[in-house]
């Protein structure tokens, strides 16, 4: 079967061939090759540069990796090249022999390989079109061989992944590639090729000091190597479509680096016939398209913005014009528009202005089609639907959430190459920033001198939402001496004082990176009393301190940059040399990032080591001196590796004119804190042993009870029970009360003997999966301690009533390292730590689900052992809640999850994207409500927002609820204010019709509706088991406000005064918009239980009240609309016509004030026109004629020719009525239709009938 690659292009080479195989055969191939793929991923035998066809990977990671490469180059100033390969028909060019060999390499059985190869050899192919299947066929033969497994085959993606992985590995052995390493060289990752299916990129990086010509030569060799490898395996590169970018830097006089625009001429590669093919180079402003992303080295995003805006406009027009309802429009927006547009946004790093440009081109039409005014506040439209907002997430928020999730998932996967690359880029960002605070824990501090996109964009969004990312290792350098100071910290602190611009701060940083220093001690004398000579002017020949970190390429800046540097350094001195605060002792970090010229041994204080280097021979060694008084005597030369600077203290040496060497004693190193080790084992002193463990382990095992005679742990007793029955049973459970969580677990033998139990707190936001997962983790830690102490293997059956927890634990048995996307699943840190703990110890674990709370329907003694233990664990969790219930918002960083997100002091462990979006749009929306209704922060805190959320979910009328909650209903007063109508009165009582008036109108129909509402509210409160006094007070106060517009709290018992006052501060009308005071909920929670009725949770009780009040408002509004516009379609048509004719008569009354030549714009007989026209026709007349009529009146008044009549009636005797009507028609068309509209009329129609709405769900009608 053939399908279009491009819509409407029927050329044979532009059609995509799809092979259709019999279902069972396709299932066999997909299953066998899929199993081999899973094994290869688990064993990490595939090249990590291939991102297509692998489970757990996606194309967005590949484009994110490209941004990391650009950032690495910008921060290091190291050159590299991207060579983009364009392979042709990779599936159709797979050689069966190569596919078979690759399959055997990755463990597929030889019989399966034989069946696959034999099938391809003897398969008979027919062509299927849209009408029939061809009668003739073709098949493989020696003369005309058929290669390729083809698209449509279930194993083609795996086959190509296997083959391309082997080719990538072969290429890696010979290619130059590029080595990415951290400044300290403790993290290294190499890339030679990355690809997604057939889209691949050769990455070539030169040495630090390579010339541009060296880099281009290496890139050419790598590209030629890939071409040859692909050709030998059956593939083919379309060389004319290939291209490359070269990133190389030059330096301004100020020291600031800039990319060269173009590497110069193109290069020549040889094709399969040995002919030279010219490959055009791209300059840094020319973007390249890769997996739907348009990127270039300059990272400006201009073309990407235009492309996304064009695509968004095309989709918007399709949605708006397809004739769907509001609900269907919102469905198309959520399922078509958002996925198509937001796909590239988190990896494109566009500016806020560019993202706003895309929204302005598309969103106003969608707002209107969904039922909102185009000019509605953007904060309201972006607000969460659950709080009464529009739910239209801004693109900048989508982008920011993507930045954070990309960082989290890749930092957490330390074994993946992209995770390693991210860490390396982070270390370079730390080096370039030169600050002493964690970049993601203080994101609000601006660092304009920090280059790149990934780290700065992530910090910017975190600052906007008051978020932080807590890392296991911040990689921040520690001060070298007591009283040491960070130079860039100082520059940032005094920036405003000195009025430093972003460019000036960058120039200061260029000087710092040229020197390779970070702290004041690195540019000071070893004595720590003064600056080194020439450090403020750049005239110092050599520093006594030499960094061991890899420095970025940096040219020496000019004098103006050094002058700015001197302004910062002068803050440390009073006379330009002597330090205001002398430096103190050396810290333990003095040796971690550099080497001083000389050291005195901490072991033997009479031994001094002096570093020497022979540049010609690239040889380094230590001169060993003996100290006699202040004079030094050379005793020996030793190799550089024979003395560790950690064992010495920096010391100053002086060489006199006679050649003798002397020293003066300086500060010593602060002694390292002693390493504490547990004095006792867990069986000797459990409490002492526990104190020696990490904080998170202490919390998990803080309340453990051992079922022994003396209450102390006896691991041998537990082992005896294990050996007697073959395994142990461990059942865990959790408890969640709002956000307060606890856990409990029981360890027992299969003979029902309880061995250990425990209970304790659980940190984080309330979640049953987390509380029960922490319970299992606590039990796992204890079993691990027992196993390690006894050095024996334990078989344990872990049981929980949380099905998701059991599924995850069982699924994790089939892989070792998590996929990046897996790390964003709910409570990943807990579930991963369970697996990690078991994997690192001698535990053979099995997992089983048990139904919880079985004791509610059955006696405890009649339950199975597993069910009894579950009841016991649940009771333990409940006991902790009763005695020590507390909310712990911040979680501990577990070893298995090295990056944790927190927002406003609360850890986020689930629903990352949703929480990151809400963290931005919700405060903006709340601020909008405060501004509009004049609410203070205290009033906002008294509103029961959770009740509103639950009520909105129950009602499910998002648009009308958003208008009710935000006072946006089109009442008569609102329409009159916006000049949509000329009166603001209620049609029933003739008072001003506001949103409040809809509720309090005195008409009979409204009064009848209010009586029904109060009755319904009373009945619902009684059903919910509400205390009579609370029910009566609430209903009476609401009814009093509906009748009088105010509530006098003195008329009610004193216990209700606070609730009435807080509701009054919110506004009683807002109770019908879902804004219920929390004081009512507090009263309900404190009230006694009504006999015979189960008492509901406070927020559930409040949600029911909110549901009733908001439903009443919706019904009142719909009743009002029926009264104003009519109930039936005929009544609505008649009402609309009457309202529109008011405007028609107003426009027609301007006939005498308009130009005589424009009489064609007016209606001769209004009554006839009314009878013969529909409401839609009248509305069209108004829309088409209003502007022209007003313009005619304006021009005629300006010409001061009022009273002159048209010349047409003078010659009416010579023209028939039909002729005059035709003249009026032509004049009307000329006035109403401008040139653009007339041109549009003449344009040839190129589209057929309207596309079905179903097509938009699959994006089949969208052309790229």
DSSP string spanning 661-686?
A: EEEE----BPPPPPPP--SS-TTT-H
Decide if pLDDT at 1192 tops 60: yes
Decide if pLDDT at 1003 tops 80: yes
Query: Could you give the count of Cα atoms lying within 13 Å of 595 in the half-sphere of its Cβ?
Result: 17
Q: What is the pTM of this model?
A: 0.89
Place of tokens 């270390």: 427
Q: What is the DSSP string of 724-785?
A: HHS-EEEEEEEEEETTEEEEEEEEEETTS-EEEEEEEEE-SS--HHHHHHHHHHHHHHHHHH
Place of tokens 């199993």: 35
Q: Distance of CA 417 to CAs 73, 443, 579, 835, 1048, Å? A: 17, 26, 46, 22, 69
Decide if pLDDT at 290 tops 60: yes
Is residue 1227 very low, low, confident or very high in pLDDT (cuts 50, 70, 90)? low
Is residue 675 very low, low, confident or very high in pLDDT (cuts 50, 70, 90)? low
Coil vs helix vs strand at 793: coil
Decide if pLDDT at 541 tops 70: no
DSSP H stretches of helix in 278-337: 302-320, 326-332
pLDDT score at 701? 95
Whether the CB-CB separation of 445 and 492 falls below 8 Å is answered with: yes
Whether the CB-CB separation of 510 and 458 falls below 8 Å is answered with: no
Q: Distance of CA 810 to CAs 736, 807, 834, 848, Å? A: 24, 5, 11, 9
What's the rounded mean pLDDT across residues 561-578? 92
Cα–Cα distance, 144 to 308 (Å, whole number): 45
Beta-carbon contacts of 607 under 8 Å, excluding residues fewer than 6 positions away, are 600, 601, 624, 625, 626, 627
- Residue 492: its H or E element: helix 487-493
**What are the residues facing 799 on neighbouring strands?**
731, 848
Is residue 1257 very low, low, confident or very high in pLDDT (cuts 50, 70, 90)? very low
Place of tokens 């987390």: 770
pLDDT score at 1259? 33
Coil vs helix vs strand at 650: strand
Q: Are strands 906-908 and 899-903 parallel, antiparallel or unpaired?
A: antiparallel
Among 661, 697, 720, CA closest to 778: 697
Which region holds residue 184: left if phi is over 0, alpha if psi is between -120 and 50, else beta?
Answer: alpha
Structure tokens at 401: 């959430």
pLDDT score at 1230? 66
Whether the CB-CB separation of 1154 and 1189 falls below 8 Å is answered with: yes
Decide if pLDDT at 477 tops 80: yes
Is residue 666 very low, low, confident or very high in pLDDT (cuts 50, 70, 90)? low
Decide if pLDDT at 439 tops 90: yes
Q: Which residue has the higher pLDDT, 564 or 1261?
A: 564
- Write out pLDDT tens, residues 891-904: 999 999 999 999 99
Whether the CB-CB separation of 119 and 25 falls below 8 Å is answered with: yes
Is residue 428 very low, low, confident or very high in pLDDT (cuts 50, 70, 90)? very high
- Write out pLDDT tens, residues 720-766: 999 999 999 999 999 998 889 999 999 999 999 999 999 999 999 98
Structure tokens at 1177: 């026709």
pLDDT score at 559? 92
- Share the mean pLDDT of the chain: 88
Q: How many residues belong to the chain?
A: 1264
State whether CATH 3.40.50.2300 applies to domain 686-897. no
**What are the residues facing 930 on neighbouring strands?**
none
- Residue 295: its H or E element: strand 293-295
Structure tokens at 1134: 């008649």
Beta-carbon contacts of 325 under 8 Å, excluding residues fewer than 6 positions away, are none
Is residue 1245 very low, low, confident or very high in pLDDT (cuts 50, 70, 90)? very low
Cα–Cα distance, 113 to 302 (Å, whole number): 49
Decide if pLDDT at 1256 tops 60: no
User: Which of the 8 DSSP states describes residue 333?
Assistant: I
What's the rounded mean pLDDT across residues 1150-1177? 85
Structure tokens at 108: 């597929």
Q: Terminal CA-to-CA distance of the chain, rounded, Å?
A: 22
What's the rounded mean pLDDT across residues 964-978? 91
Sort 1247 into a burial class: Cβ within 10 Å, 0-12 / 13-18 / 19+: exposed
DSSP 3-state percent helix, strand, coil across the chain (nearest 5): 50, 15, 35
Decide if pLDDT at 238 tops 60: yes
* Cα Rg of the chain (Å, integer): 38
Q: Distance of CA 1257 to CAs 6, 7, 325, 336, 1254, Å? A: 19, 17, 15, 6, 6
pLDDT score at 463? 96
Whether the CB-CB separation of 189 and 424 falls below 8 Å is answered with: yes
pLDDT score at 1231? 61
Place of tokens 């797979």: 94
Whether the CB-CB separation of 1068 and 1047 falls below 8 Å is answered with: yes
Q: Distance of CA 740 to CAs 95, 743, 777, 942, 1201, Å? A: 61, 11, 18, 21, 81
Place of tokens 């060289």: 185
Q: Distance of CA 617 to CAs 597, 622, 638, Å? A: 19, 15, 16
pLDDT score at 1179? 86
Whether the CB-CB separation of 967 and 1084 falls below 8 Å is answered with: no
What is the crossing angle of helices 395-412 and 454-464, to 10°?
Answer: 120
pLDDT score at 1237? 47
Among 272, 50, 88, CA closest to 165: 50
The least confident of 66-75, 1009-1018, 1042-1051, 1167-1176 is 1167-1176
DSSP H stretches of helix in 966-1077: 972-977, 995-1000, 1004-1023, 1028-1044, 1057-1066
DSSP H stretches of helix in 516-554: none
Structure tokens at 738: 């709002």
Structure tokens at 584: 């103190």
Place of tokens 């005309």: 144
Structure tokens at 610: 């002096």
- Write out pLDDT tens, residues 605-653: 889 999 988 877 778 899 999 988 888 888 899 998 899 999 899 988 8
Is residue 1260 very low, low, confident or very high in pLDDT (cuts 50, 70, 90)? very low
Where are the domains positioned within the chain? Answer: 2-294, 594-664, 686-897, 935-1044+1051-1125, 1129-1232
Among 1144, 1164, 1173, 1147, CA closest to 1220: 1164
**What are the residues facing 743 on neighbouring strands?**
734, 760
- Write out pLDDT tens, residues 153-187: 888 889 999 999 999 999 999 999 999 999 999 99
Cα–Cα distance, 391 to 384 (Å, whole number): 5
Q: Which residue has the higher pLDDT, 17 or 756?
A: 756
Structure tokens at 1126: 């009519």
The least confident of 540-549, 751-760, 817-826, 861-870 is 540-549
Most confident of 131-135, 374-378, 1200-1204: 374-378
Structure tokens at 414: 């330390």
What's the rounded mean pLDDT across residues 369-380? 93
User: Cα angle vertex 391, ends 388, 397, to 5°?
Assistant: 130
pLDDT score at 706? 95
Cα–Cα distance, 140 to 500 (Å, whole number): 74
Is residue 667 very low, low, confident or very high in pLDDT (cuts 50, 70, 90)? low
Whether the CB-CB separation of 85 and 201 falls below 8 Å is answered with: yes
What's the rounded mean pLDDT across residues 1161-1180? 86
Q: What are the DSSP E strand ranges found in 959-1002? A: none
- Write out pLDDT tens, residues 32-66: 999 999 999 888 899 988 888 787 788 899 999 99
What is the crossing angle of helices 945-955 and 958-965, to 10°?
Answer: 150
Beta-carbon contacts of 409 under 8 Å, excluding residues fewer than 6 positions away, are 820, 821, 823, 824
Most confident of 237-241, 276-280, 354-358: 354-358
User: Cα angle vertex 907, ends 906, 912, to 5°?
Assistant: 115
């Amino acid at each position: 079967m053939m399908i279009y690659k491009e819509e409407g292009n029927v050329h044979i080479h532009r059609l995509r061939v799809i092979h259709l195989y019999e279902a069972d055969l396709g299932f066999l191939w997909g299953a066998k090759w899929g199993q081999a793929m899973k094994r290869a991923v688990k064993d990490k035998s595939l090249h990590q540069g291939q991102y297509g066809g692998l489970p757990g990977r996606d194309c967005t990671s590949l484009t994110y990796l490209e941004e990391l490469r650009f950032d690495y180059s910008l921060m290091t100033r190291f050159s590299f090249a991207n060579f983009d390969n364009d392979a042709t028909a990779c599936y159709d060019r797979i050689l069966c022999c190569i596919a078979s060999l690759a399959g055997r390499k990755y463990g597929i059985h030889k019989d399966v390989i034989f069946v696959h190869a034999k099938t391809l050899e003897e398969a008979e192919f027919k062509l299927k079109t849209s009408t029939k299947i061809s009668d003739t066929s073709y098949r493989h033969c020696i003369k005309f061989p058929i290669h390729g497994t083809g698209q449509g085959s279930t194993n083609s993606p795996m086959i190509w992944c296997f083959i391309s992985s082997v080719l990538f590995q072969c290429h890696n052995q010979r290619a130059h590639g590029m080595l990415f390493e951290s400044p300290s060289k403790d993290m290294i990752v190499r890339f030679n090729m990355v690809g997604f299916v057939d889209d691949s990129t050769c990455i070539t990086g030169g040495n630090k000091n390579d010339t541009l010509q060296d880099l281009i030569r290496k890139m050419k060799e790598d590209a030629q190597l890939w071409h040859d490898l692909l050709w030998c395996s059956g593939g083919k590169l379309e060389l004319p479509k290939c291209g490359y970018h070269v990133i190389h830097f030059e330096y301004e006089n100020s020291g600031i680096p800039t990319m060269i625009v173009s590497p110069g001429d193109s290069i020549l590669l040889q094709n399969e016939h040995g002919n030279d093919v010219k490959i055009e180079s791209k300059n840094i402003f020319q973007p390249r398209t890769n997996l739907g992303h348009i990127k270039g080295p300059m990272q400006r995003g201009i073309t990407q913005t235009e492309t996304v805006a064009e695509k968004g406009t095309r989709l918007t027009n399709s949605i708006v014009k397809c004739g769907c309802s509001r609900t269907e429009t919102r469905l198309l927006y959520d399922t078509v528009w958002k996925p198509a547009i937001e796909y590239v946004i988190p990896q494109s790093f566009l500016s806020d202005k560019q993202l706003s440009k895309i929204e302005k081109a598309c969103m106003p039409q969608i707002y209107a089609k969904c039922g909102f005014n185009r000019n509605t506040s953007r904060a309201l439209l972006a607000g969460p639907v659950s709080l009464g907002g529009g739910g239209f997430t801004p693109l900048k928020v989508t982008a920011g959430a993507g930045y954070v999730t990309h960082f989290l998932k890749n930092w957490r996967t330390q074994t993946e190459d992209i995770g390693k690359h991210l860490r390396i880029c982070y270390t370079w960002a730390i080096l370039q920033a030169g600050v002493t605070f964690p970049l993601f824990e203080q994101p609000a501090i601006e660092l304009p001198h920090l280059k790149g996109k990934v780290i700065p964009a992530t910090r910017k969004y975190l600052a906007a939402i008051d978020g932080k990312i807590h890392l296991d290792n911040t990689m921040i350098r520690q001060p070298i001496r007591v009283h040491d100071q960070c130079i860039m910290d100082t520059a940032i602190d005094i920036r405003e004082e000195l009025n430093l611009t972003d460019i000036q701060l960058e120039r200061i940083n260029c000087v710092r990176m040229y020197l390779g220093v970070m702290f004041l001690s690195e540019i000071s004398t070893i004595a720590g009393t003064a600056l080194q000579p020439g450090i403020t002017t750049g005239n110092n020949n050599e520093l006594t301190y030499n960094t061991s970190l890899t420095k970025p390429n940096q040219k020496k800046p000019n004098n103006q940059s050094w002058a700015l540097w001197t302004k910062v350094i002068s803050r440390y001195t009073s006379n330009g040399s002597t330090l205001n605060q002398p430096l103190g002792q050396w810290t333990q970090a003095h040796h971690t990032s550099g080497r001083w010229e000389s050291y005195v041994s901490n072991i033997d204080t009479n031994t001094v080591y002096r570093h020497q280097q022979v540049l010609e021979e690239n040889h380094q060694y230590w001169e060993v001196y003996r100290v006699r008084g202040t004079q030094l005597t050379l005793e020996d030369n030793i190799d550089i590796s024979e003395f560790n600077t950690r064992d010495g203290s920096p010391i100053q040496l002086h060489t006199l004119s006679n050649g003798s060497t002397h020293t003066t004693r300086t500060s010593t190193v602060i002694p390292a804190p002693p390493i504490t080790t547990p004095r006792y084992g867990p069986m000797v002193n459990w409490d002492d042993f526990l104190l020696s463990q990490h904080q998170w382990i202490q919390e998990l095992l803080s309340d453990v009870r051992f079922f022994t005679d003396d209450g102390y742990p006896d691991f041998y007793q537990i082992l005896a029970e294990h050996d007697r029955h073959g395994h142990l049973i461990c059942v865990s459970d959790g408890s969640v009360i709002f956000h307060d969580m606890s856990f409990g677990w029981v360890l027992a033998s299969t003979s029902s003997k309880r061995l250990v139990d425990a209970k304790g707190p659980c940190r984080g936001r309330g979640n049953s999966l987390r509380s029960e997962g922490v319970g299992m983790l606590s039990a796992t830690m204890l079993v691990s301690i027992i196993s390690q102490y006894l050095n024996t293997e334990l078989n344990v059956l872990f049981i929980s009533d949380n099905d998701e927890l059991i599924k995850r634990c069982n699924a994790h048995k089939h892989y070792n390292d998590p996929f990046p996307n897996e790390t964003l699943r709910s409570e990943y840190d807990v579930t991963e730590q369970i697996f990690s703990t078991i994997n690192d110890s001698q535990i053979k674990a099995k997992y089983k689900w048990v139904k919880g709370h079985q004791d509610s329907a059955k006696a405890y003694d009649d339950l199975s052992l597993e069910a009894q233990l579950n009841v016991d664990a649940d009771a333990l969790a409940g006991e902790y809640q009763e005695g020590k219930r507390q909310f712990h918002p911040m979680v501990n960083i577990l070893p298995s999850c090295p990056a944790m997100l927190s927002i406003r002091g609360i850890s986020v462990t689930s629903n990352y994207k949703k929480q990151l979006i809400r963290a931005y749009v919700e405060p903006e929306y709340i601020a909008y409500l405060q501004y509009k209704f004049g609410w203070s922060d205290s009033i906002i805190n008294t509103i029961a927002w959770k009740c509103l959320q639950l009520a909105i979910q129950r009602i499910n009328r998002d648009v009308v609820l958003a208008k009710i909650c935000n006072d946006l209903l089109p009442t008569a007063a609102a329409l009159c204010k916006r000049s949509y109508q000329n009166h603001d009165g209620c049609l029933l009582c003739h008072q001003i019709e506001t949103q409040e008036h809809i509720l309090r109108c005195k008409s009979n129909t409204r009064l009848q509706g209010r009586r029904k509402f109060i009755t319904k509210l009373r009945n619902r409160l009684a059903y919910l088991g509400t205390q009579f006094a609370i029910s009566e007070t609430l209903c009476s106060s609401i009814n009093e406000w509906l009748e009088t517009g105010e509530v006098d709290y003195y008329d009610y018992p004193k216990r209700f005064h606070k609730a009435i006052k807080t509701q009054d501060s919110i506004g009683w009308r807002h109770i019908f918009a879902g804004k219920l005071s929390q004081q009512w909920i507090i009263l309900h929670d404190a009230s006694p239980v009504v006999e015979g009725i189960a008492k509901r949770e406070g927020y559930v009780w409040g949600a029911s009240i909110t549901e009733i009040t908001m439903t009443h408002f919706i019904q009142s509004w719909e009743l009002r609309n029926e009264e104003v516009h009519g109930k039936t379609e005929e009544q609505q048509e008649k009402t609309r016509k009457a309202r529109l004719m008011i405007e028609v008569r107003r426009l027609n009354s301007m006939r005498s004030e308009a130009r005589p030549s424009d009489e064609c714009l007016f209606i001769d007989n209004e009554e006839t026109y009314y009878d013969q026209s529909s409401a839609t026709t009248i509305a069209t007349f108004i829309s088409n004629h209003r502007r022209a009529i007003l313009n005619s009146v304006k021009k005629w008044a300006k010409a001061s020719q009022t009273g002159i009549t048209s010349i047409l009636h003078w010659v009416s005797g010579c023209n028939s009525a039909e002729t005059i009507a035709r003249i009026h028609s032509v004049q009307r068309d000329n006035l109403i239709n401008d040139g653009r509209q007339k041109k549009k009329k003449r344009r040839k129609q190129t589209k057929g009938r309207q596309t079905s709405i179903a097509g938009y769900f699959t994006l089949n009608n969208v052309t790229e």
